[in-house]
Structure 1
Amino acid sequence: MRSARVAYAGAVHDAVPHGEGLQLADGRVLAEHDVVWLPPVAEPGTLVALGLNYADHVKELAKELTQTTKDEPLVFLKGPGSLIGHRGRTRRPADAGVMHYECELAVVIGRRARRVKAADALAHVQGYTVCNDYAVRDYLENWYRPNLRVKNRDGGTVLGPWLVSADEVPDPQALALQTRVNGAVVQQGSTADMIHGVAALIEYLSEFMTLEAGDIILTGTPEGTVNCNAGDEVVCEIAGIGRLVNTLY
Structure 2
Amino acid sequence: MLWLVVMYLGSIAVMLLSAFWSVDGFTGKVVQSYSLANFAELFTNPLYGTVALRTLLIAVGVTVIDAVIALPLALYMAKVASPRVRIILVVAVTTPLWASYLVKAYAWRVLLAPNGPIDWVSGGNSPGYGLPATVITLAYLWLPYMIIPVFAGFDRVSDSLFEASFDLGAGAWRTLRSVALPLVFPAIAAGSIFTFSLTLGDYIAVGIVGGKTQMIANVIYGQLVTANDQPLAAALSLIPLAAIVLYLLAMRRTGALENV
What is the TM-score with the length of structure 2 in the denominator? 0.23
More strand by share: 1
More helix by share: 2
Greater radius of gyration (CA): 2
